[in-house]
Amino acid sequence: MTILIVQGPHAAGHVSGGDLSARFESLVRATGQALSVCTCGGLRELVARVRAAKAEGTDFMLLAPGDLTEEARAHPEAGLDDALEALASPYVEVHDDSGAAVERADGRHGAPLATIVINGDLATSYRIALGIALRQLAA
């Protein structure tokens, strides 16, 4: 089973993709899961990674759009809502700012299992979200 972390760009000083792998790989591996981290530089790349998760057989996704949240809100035609709607696995949104959650006002089913926001502490948000993913996959 695979847990995929899809991360957009974040302000300097935040947890990077390599740091996430280093922090969580042994914990995830100890539960019999695999961890894959993808850092995306732009909204198109983020949407493409979310779309690819279904084809890759991802069992759970942590989505941290970071600085791309505002762009996703301003450009719904980019397809993030559609990609999340088509996602076959559950996901948790991860943020370090309470104003950064991705909004889906149309009531579609692509809503996250949970949205984790620890203001100013992205690493803790990831840790909580990963705990949710591991519990869900163990059930």
Is 90's pLDDT higher than 60?
yes
8 A C-beta contact, residue 136 and residue 90: yes
What sign results for the dihedral spanned by CA atoms 55, 58, 61, 63?
negative
Q: Is 26 helix (H, G, I), strand (E, B) or coil?
A: helix
Token pair of 114 as six digits:
């949970």
pLDDT in tens, 21-42: 777 888 888 889 999 999 999 9
pLDDT of 108 reads 55
Tell me the pLDDT band of 50, cut-offs 50, 70 and 90.
very high
Rounded percentage of the chain residues whose pLDDT exceeds 70: 83
Please tell me the predicted confidence (pLDDT) of residue 12: 59
CA distance linking residue 54 with residue 112, whole number of Å: 15
Place 104 in a pLDDT band, splitting at 50, 70 and 90.
Answer: low
Quote the radius of gyration of the chain (alpha carbons, Å).
14
For 46-52, what is the mean pLDDT? 95
d(CA 53, CA 29): 19
Most confident of 10-14, 51-55, 94-98, 130-134: 130-134
Phi and psi based region of residue 32 (left: phi greater than 0; alpha: psi -120 to 50; beta: remaining): left
Contact yes or no for 109/74 (Cβ under 8 A) = no
- Which one is predicted more confidently, 18 or 32? 32
Residues 108 and 4: their CA atoms lie apart, in Å, by 22
**CA-based nearest residue to 79, from 115, 113, 104, 116:** 104
- Torsion of Cα atoms, 12 then 60 then 90 then 50, to 10°: 60
The predicted structure's pLDDT at residue 10 = 77
Highest mean pLDDT among 18-22, 68-72, 73-77, 126-130: 126-130
pLDDT band at 84 (very low <50, low <70, confident <90, very high): very high
